[in-house]
Structure 1
């Protein structure tokens, strides 16, 4: 591997920012680093769309998670979250490498990951932690395999429920396995891994896609990286624009109310999940349909379930805009997609959606607008999602729908 002096200098500068113990995320002032992949974390919860390992946690087990970065750089670092753990987490070790098929790792790419120059460590609950820089040059849209080994019981684990991707588990320490043979168990969630940042030569620039399940990628093909933020990353890569795309969607998330299943409300998690992302300059907000759907809905995960007015939802968006502008971030509002025919559709809810969308389009309070409603609406009935974009539930797009959403983004406004 040939590495230029400039790359080594950038890496050395980054390494000098890491203290002798693991540092909480944000401690380096974001110098040189850009968020290239992210997952917004949640409290442990029983399986919603299938089994997950969050409530049981891990003990003498290796967890391998495959993620696709959006932009490249000379080095990477991991962000590990203990946001919802109740006790310290002992990490016995970690590795990162370029992913092959399934749980395989490409030859010659596997690297050890340290935190505070230590191969193992104890991580206090309620925080996000940065790894030391790892000299693993990556390109735009490269897939990485991140493996954590937990020798001792973790207790219930901080995680991200709806990954639309396969994670793998093996008994014992298999951090340095290039093969997939030991990883016989799978799930569709991510655990402890909150982000992958890349170190580039240029001034860092990331776009955060902030929202609910439609940002999270519900309805997209498993393991295909076809969520709308993924499709946006592909457009940026094709245009040779070194802009990272960080996905801050949580399935079922709401603007105004927490959920035991679907995470803290947007106005609470916005700082951590959007504004604290390294290199963030732009945030795209697509959220509110679950606030509308949950009003009075007979669904445990939608508790509390107050009926929300358009004014209340608009005020929630205003709070996000104010926070973003205070941080010097460009705020882009996306109109809410059609949902007529879906499980929780009501005419009263449709009226709220129309009012909120009209405000997003015309108020001028967002710096820019992406009209995703019009990009995905059925030409025969604007209140319904176009059948060619419907994943089957009249709410979530399919792969073609997510591609249409990304195509509606004016790259020049990012």
Structure 2
């Protein structure tokens, strides 16, 4: 029956459902989380220890819809094979609960259990679960044995749930008594694309793209707000990592942008446009030493621009457009200095005037306090003078000219 259903769906949509292809014109990214090494730098997570006879339930919100989905899992930073006993996808209900009639067991090459090699990723077979734009989905993973440290995304601004034993098909939330604000192993959700090309937009950057300061479970990050403006006309996925930098790797804040760009941005199915907002940590970290982020060299505007040019070259080589975003005001932030302010001003001037980006979005102008342009507008400040509030993220999304996407 499953084979017959796949044939019928393929015929109806005119696409090929290739379950192991990393990118295929019949699929479009609808949600993503950039993986990195497990870390507790943002607070305690389950990632550093991993799982052992645990069920992990994770809730995401799609940006676009489609008649079927598949799920992407990452073991990019695992040193041993990841043995997944089973997984399900379903439409979300309240908290850890799901709608029982929508539960679908995921398969991988026709099998419910699978193994993801160290450093690798795996894409599920098609799951016949129609989804709508801006709909919450729940992905549940069960690990019967010990996983070791878990590749994931520590700063999720969303609640994940854990239960002892196998509860992958539970509709109820009763067994899920533990909570975390991180994602584990789950790196993408993709939908069948009815059109030859949906023009997926990837928001690429650091914690401001990741959504630091936004309401937990509110889906108020600026890429979420942008997805709401587009409402399925284009998908928007988030490739932000808190603390990430353009020019330097980190054990806690991910690989540098120039290294991870190919995987996290250009590797998204149906990507057409990237919004690049990154560089403030390169400028600020030299004045805010963090052991796990060493080295913390002082950077010049020319250094940051050289990184941008590398990213633009990578994107254009793949036929992908890059929208350059100006760096937000950060006066009063823990790592603000007058010297850093001068570098930010020079970088922003280059973004606006160089003509090297395909388009520009002026996030600085959209979020600055008119009375003190080097500072965030108080209503747009989450409280640390660096990360926007929900209202600030909404203002950022409103500043994007949709025609440039």
TM-score tier by shorter-chain length is over 0.9
The TM-score, its normalising length taken from structure 1, stands at: 0.94
1:297 CA displacement: 2.4
In structure 1, what is the equivalent of residue 351 of structure 2? Answer: 360
In structure 2, what is the equivalent of residue 401 of structure 1? Answer: 392
Q: Residue 125 in 1 paired to residue 118 in 2?
A: yes
Residues 363, 264 of structure 1: CA spacing in aligned structure 2 closer, same or farther, 3 A cutoff?
Answer: same
Q: In 2, Cα distance between the equivalents of 1:281 and 1:13? A: 19
Residues 4, 117 of structure 1: CA spacing in aligned structure 2 closer, same or farther, 3 A cutoff?
Answer: closer
In structure 2, what is the equivalent of residue 276 of structure 1? Answer: 267
SS at structure 2 position matched to 1:355: helix
Preserved CA contact (<8 Å) 2:380 2:389: yes
- How many residue pairs match? The answer is 400
Instruction: Report matched runs for 1:251-400 at 5 Å.
Output: 251-400=242-391
Q: Residue 235 in 1 paired to residue 237 in 2?
A: no
1:4 CA displacement: 12
Q: In 2, Cα distance between the equivalents of 1:335 and 1:105? A: 40
Preserved CA contact (<8 Å) 1:10 1:201: no
1:10 CA displacement: 5.0
SS at structure 2 position matched to 1:271: helix
SS at structure 2 position matched to 1:145: strand
Q: In 1, Cα distance between the equivalents of 2:243 and 2:369? A: 23
SS at structure 2 position matched to 1:60: strand
Q: In 2, Cα distance between the equivalents of 1:252 and 1:224? A: 21
Aligned match for 1:164, one of 157, 175, 197: 157
Aligned match for 1:138, one of 121, 131, 138: 131
Instruction: Report matched runs for 1:106-125 at 5 Å.
Output: 106-125=99-118
Identify which range, 254-263 or 195-204, moves more after superposition: 195-204
Q: C-alpha deviations, 1:64-122, integer Å up to 9, x for none? A: 00000000001000000010000101000000000011000013111000111110011
1:323 CA displacement: 0.3
Could you tell me which runs of 5 or more consecutive residues in structure 1 were left unpaired when the two chains were aligned: none
1:32 CA displacement: 1.3
Q: In 1, Cα distance between the equivalents of 2:316 and 2:97? A: 43
In structure 1, what is the equivalent of residue 57 of structure 2? Answer: 64
Q: C-alpha deviations, 1:131-189, integer Å up to 9, x for none? A: 00100000000100000000011111101010000000000000000000000001000
Q: C-alpha deviations, 1:196-226, integer Å up to 9, x for none? A: 0011211232100000000000000000100
Identify which range, 48-57 or 343-352, moves more after superposition: 48-57
SS at structure 1 position matched to 2:60: strand
Taking only aligned residues, the RMSD between alpha carbons, in angstroms, comes to 1.5
Could you tell me which runs of 5 or more consecutive residues in structure 2 were left unpaired when the two chains were aligned: none
1:31 CA displacement: 2.0
Runs of 4+ in structure 1 deviating by more than 6 angstroms, as ranges, are 3-6
Aligned match for 2:193, one of 200, 217, 224: 200
Q: C-alpha deviations, 1:32-52, integer Å up to 9, x for none? A: 11100000000112x223210
Preserved CA contact (<8 Å) 2:89 2:106: yes
In structure 2, what is the equivalent of residue 99 of structure 1? Answer: 92
Q: In 1, Cα distance between the equivalents of 2:230 and 2:53? A: 40
In structure 2, what is the equivalent of residue 9 of structure 1? Answer: 11
In structure 2, what is the equivalent of residue 88 of structure 1? Answer: 81
Preserved CA contact (<8 Å) 1:296 1:306: no
Q: C-alpha deviations, 1:294-344, integer Å up to 9, x for none? A: 114232233111000110000000000000000000110000000000000
The TM-score, its normalising length taken from structure 2, stands at: 0.96
1:11 CA displacement: 6.7
Preserved CA contact (<8 Å) 1:11 1:74: no
Aligned match for 2:177, one of 175, 179, 184: 184
